Amino acid sequence: MFTLGAAQYFMYHEPTDMRKSFDGFCGLVEGRLKQNPMSSDVYIFVNKPRNRLKLFKWEPGGFVLFYKRLSDGTFG
């Protein structure tokens, strides 16, 4: 079961290349946000046009990516 639940949320404020996968997001969390990607925190990444969003989270057993692509509009 994949859940977000009660966690701390960290927003990465620079536009992010949405082609990144687990290793790329681990690098951003460790290198730029100075956080431990294997905590139960949720890390939020948005692309430059602000129409795609990925949430990155560690759960027991591995990483999970939640991906949302808007068909119209942008994320605030």
Burial 45-76 (b: 16+ CB within 10 A, else e): bbbeeebbbbbbbbeeeeeeeeeeeeeeeeee
Residue 29 and residue 48: Cα distance in Å, rounded? 18
User: Can you tell me whether residue 25 is helix, strand or coil?
Assistant: helix
Query: What pLDDT, in 10s, does the model give residues 52-76?
Result: 999 999 998 999 999 999 999 999 8
Tokens of 34: 């100075």
Query: What pLDDT, in 10s, does the model give residues 19-54?
Result: 999 999 999 999 999 999 999 899 999 999 999 999
Residue 14 has pLDDT above 70, yes or no: yes
pTM: 0.91
